Structure 1
Amino acid sequence: MLRARLLTRFLTAALVVAPLLSGCAGDEPTIAVLVDDAGDASSRVVDVERLTDRVEATCDECRVRVYDAEGDAATQKSQARQAEAASADVVVVVPVDPDDLATLTGGDLPVVSLGELVPGSDRFVGLEGGAPTGRSGSDVEAARDVVLGKEQSMTYVPTGPMSDRAADLAVAYLADNPVEGGVDVDGVESWLYTDSEVTVDTLTSVLVAEGIMTLDDLCSGSTRKRCARLGLR
């Protein structure tokens, strides 16, 4: 197993993995990230920028190569073959169609599924309640609808922590380090997170406090007066 030279970084207690310390043999170990549709705001299980930053913070020679299927399962299958041909060392995949990626998990390339479980994956990061339900718009747009009273609540998916976890699992493969704390899901070692319903009373204590958005994101333009009336500013 390729072993990457890794930097020591402080990891939060909720996301701590085995110490990522090893010697390096080989140049620029690569993590291929296959995303279902980077342009779809309702696809909320991965923050590619955060995942990339996490990898770079824990592995000084690792690189991340992103493939965007733009919602097309056939394109993602082709990109999976491209990643293998490009000698990726680990794949993190947010699947368009989990059952359509058997060829990806049929070889020796380690696969970390994110959001939905691709059969035959080595590890999985998902939600306790299953795959998140799709919705139109981003978290900010959904939260602003709650402020305006258009919706009573919104579903918050912990995309950031899930992206961090997927990055940590991929880097652990490169370092040949074990990772503890997983549970069994269909025979796959898995880390499950909980989504939650956020109302107008918990918008700031959850979404703003956790850095998902700022008060300016939430309370500007058409929501400014409503936020003031609700005491959110």
Structure 2
Amino acid sequence: MLRRLLPVVLLAATPALSACLGDEPTIALLVADGSSQSVDADLFTARVDATCDECRVRVYDAGGDADTQRSQVRQAQADSADVLVVEPVAGTPDATNDLPLVSVGGDVDGADAHVGLEEGQAPAGSGSTLDEARAVLLGEERSMTYVPTREMSDQAADVAVGLLAGAPRTDGEDVDGVPSWLFADEQVTVDTLTSVLVAQGVVTLAELCSGETEKRCERFGLR
């Protein structure tokens, strides 16, 4: 099993980056579906904003359709993207005109870097992490798969900014010749909701135990 790699240290903000690339160097983030767990567009964008003053992110959501995503790859190129970050729906996007490419979640042939899970692609979410956690608490589901979406989103953003700067990250693990950062998912049950999700700040106890779940929290001694 490939070993888990720890999240990287935040890159220092670098105004000089935009000067060497021209106005508004752009990262195109192509997500497979808005409910997917490999990357969160808001978290990704916030990380880029924190590490590159002049960079901007354009987000394209394929809605789970591979043809739509291939069209979006072409659109991102037409929109003058400097780096592509792709969470693939299926297969490989069309040619990217030699733009640097980061794959997230699933593999993409020809990617310059990859951020994913040790066990493969992230499962499709049935809702937000909070919704899934509350379903486990209510007994509607026996367990949920927790994917470290924040860490993966931050890592993908850091890798993309490095490629923008012409300084690719070198701290990844070589997997079939591709620098890769791999994370572990985790099965969470009612017994580990607080020790995993609350302890890591993914959800708060107040969020978990409000409304219809309040009595269940009292029953399980969650305070």
TM-score (norm 2): 0.90
Choose from 54, 60, 66 the match for 2:53.
60
| SS of equivalent to 2:179 | strand
| SS of equivalent to 2:60 | strand
Instruction: Give the structure 1 partner of residue 83 of structure 2.
Output: 90
1:220 is displaced (CA, Å) by 1.3
Choose from 6, 28, 34 the match for 1:32.
28
Q: Structure 1 residues 48 and 176 mapped into 2: Cα distance closer, same or farther (>3 Å)?
A: same
1:17 is displaced (CA, Å) by 6.3
Choose from 169, 172, 190 the match for 1:200.
190
Q: Contact 1:73–1:100 (CA<8 Å) still a contact in 2?
A: no
Structure 1 runs (4+) deviating above 3 angstroms are 17-23
1:26-49 deviation per Cα after TM superposition (whole angstroms, max 9, x unaligned): 1100000011111x3xx1111110
Unaligned runs of 5+ in 2: 1-5
**Alignment size in residue pairs:** 215
1:216 is displaced (CA, Å) by 2.3
1:214 is displaced (CA, Å) by 1.6
Task: Kindly indicate whether residue 208 of structure 2 is the aligned counterpart of residue 215 of structure 1.
Answer: no
| SS of equivalent to 1:91 | strand
Q: CA RMSD in A?
A: 1.7
| SS of equivalent to 1:14 | coil
Amino acid across the alignment from 1:90? V
Unaligned runs of 5+ in 1: 1-12
Q: Contact 2:92–2:109 (CA<8 Å) still a contact in 1?
A: no
1:185 is displaced (CA, Å) by 2.3
1:183-213 deviation per Cα after TM superposition (whole angstroms, max 9, x unaligned): 1223211100000111222211211122211
Choose from 70, 95, 98 the match for 1:103.
95
1:217 is displaced (CA, Å) by 2.0
1:20 is displaced (CA, Å) by 6.0
TM-score (norm 1): 0.86
Within a 5 Å distance, the mapping from 1:164-203 to structure 2 comes to 164-203=154-193
Q: Structure 1 residues 135 and 63 mapped into 2: Cα distance closer, same or farther (>3 Å)?
A: closer
Q: Contact 2:137–2:216 (CA<8 Å) still a contact in 1?
A: yes
What is the percentage of aligned positions where both structures have the same residue?
Answer: 59
Q: Structure 1 residues 216 and 18 mapped into 2: Cα distance closer, same or farther (>3 Å)?
A: closer
Q: Contact 1:102–1:119 (CA<8 Å) still a contact in 2?
A: no
1:151 is displaced (CA, Å) by 2.6
Q: Which moved more, 1:145-154 or 1:114-123?
A: 145-154
Instruction: Give the structure 1 partner of residue 128 of structure 2.
Output: 138
1:83-109 deviation per Cα after TM superposition (whole angstroms, max 9, x unaligned): 111110001111111x241423xx310
